[in-house]
Amino acid sequence: MSGPTFVILGATGDLARRKLIPALYRLLGGWDKAMVLGVSRSDLGDEGYRAYARESLADAGFNEGEATKWCDSCIHFAQAAPGDGYGGVADRIAELESEHRLGGDRVFYLALPPKAYPGTVADLGEAGLDKAPGWVRLVVEKPFGTDLESARELNEIVHRYFPEESVYRIDHYLGKETVQNLLIFRFANALFESSWNRGGIESVEITVAEAIGVEGRGNYYDGSGVVRDMVQNHLAQLMTLVAMEPPASYSPGAIRDEKVKVLESLQPLDAESVVFGQYGPSGDVDGYLAEDGVAPDSAVPTFVAMRLAIDNWRWQGVPFYLRTGKGLGRRVTQIAVTFHDNPVRFFDQTAPDHLLMTLQPDEGFELRVDVKEPASDMNLRQIPLTFSYEEEFGRLPDAYETLLADVVEGDQTLFVRADMVEEAWEYFAPILDPPTPPYLYPAGSWGPREAESLLHHERGWTTR
């Protein structure tokens, strides 16, 4: 079976080493013919880049002999830098496709700093690489722009050379099995879909927490902040999947139409519905201001919590709480759905039922319900009914492996469309640069105490 030519632009960067090369090894290993062409400004040559790829695969735990054989047959290299033009890259691709008798299907992956995207896309187009004997697909990492204006400009440059159906804006959170299964969970199980509305649900919380700090990314992070880094992409995507209406069909276009409608239905943000924080020192852990590349008086937030309202029939009156930050209590990404309590309480100890959907680190579902303790006088305890993907199915594909397979297959369901990018930037524009300093919270905590004030109840955030 003949595979595609997969071109990594920025082939010696951290993303290529940690994620792309291992994912491509798993993905392309089943093809008799497939090719990975690394492109960077380094003067490595084929053998140098094969050594680089072997080190990547060794770090990922793959068998050395099998990895070496794959690298020797599939890995190639071309030297070029953004702004230099890609005429030489085009010649190299044509030469290798002819030599390996490939069909001319091509994927171009921009594993580059975002500031290099416009020039690189233009270079690809000017070199004629927007066309091929087979199909051409362009993969773009987030962040896609830094605000509405820059996102529109980048969309315009991309569409100058590549039609929207050839563009794959990647968000690795959407490659998680739990995220993909959310649509199945909702629309294939009548038990949940029938209560997935204001009548059955009290609130929805989405938490993306990282225990680490900025870890050497201070220069980048101090120019972006938490909203640009996480909210307008990751959290917005997760929220729309939870809140979307049933699509007219299970097709990429229909699903992405419904996700855009959610953003269009959001009520405008107000200052009282958003709390910003910045992690400070705690014990042996330094605070944000001590990180390399961070201004000593920086007011850039590393945490944000917000309360959103969706102004449509399904979700009227149901608060959506979004929370993300660095230096928090533990690494976890979780969607917590709290159902309404019974209208009449026969038992004083009852608590609302919770559905927890965990995306990382342990993907699965958990439904918390009340049961009676044995041999007790009506003492109730809330217990979890759990499902773990790994326990049931074994090793799960890496998110990049899943998404790259979708790119090759031409499935855009889990990728972000141009209009959704712009809609998200427009909605979150008022909080991109907070007008007031963030609240300080100690590293290892769950953010500033002021975030509790956003909740419409006194139970606190579900995810801890």
For residue 413, give the H/E element and its range.
none
- Using CA atoms, how far residue 215 sits from 143, 211, 222, 362, 458, in Å, is 18, 11, 12, 23, 34
Structure-token pair, residue 439: 């609240």
Sorted by sequence, the CB contacts under 8 Å of residue 424 that are 6+ apart come out as 232, 233, 236, 263
The DSSP code sequence of 329-390 is SS-EEEEEEEEPPPSS-SSTT----EEEEEEESS-EEEEEEEEEPTTSSS-EEEEEEEEEHH
Active site residue 234: yes
Structure-token pair, residue 443: 């590293």
SS3 6: strand
Sorted by sequence, the CB contacts under 8 Å of residue 379 that are 6+ apart come out as 349, 372, 373
Contact yes or no for 86/77 (Cβ under 8 A) = no
Sorted by sequence, the CB contacts under 8 Å of residue 102 that are 6+ apart come out as 2, 3, 4, 5, 33, 34, 35, 96
| Helix/strand number for the chain, H first, E second | 16, 15
SS3 313: coil
Structure-token pair, residue 269: 């943000």
Residues 221, 225, 228, 230, CA torsion sign: positive
- Using CA atoms, how far residue 441 sits from 99, 210, 236, 257, in Å, is 59, 14, 24, 39
Listed in sequence order, the DSSP H helices in 140-299 are: 148-161, 177-187, 190-193, 218-221, 225-226, 236-243, 252-265
Q: Which region, left, alpha or beta, applies to residue 8 given φ > 0 means left and ψ of -120 to 50 means alpha?
A: beta
Task: From the candidates 76, 100, 172, 234, give the one annotated as an active-site residue.
Answer: 234
Q: Rounded to whole angstroms, how far apart are CA atoms 292 and 286?
A: 11
Closest by CA position to 73, among listed 116, 29, 106: 29
Active site residues: 234
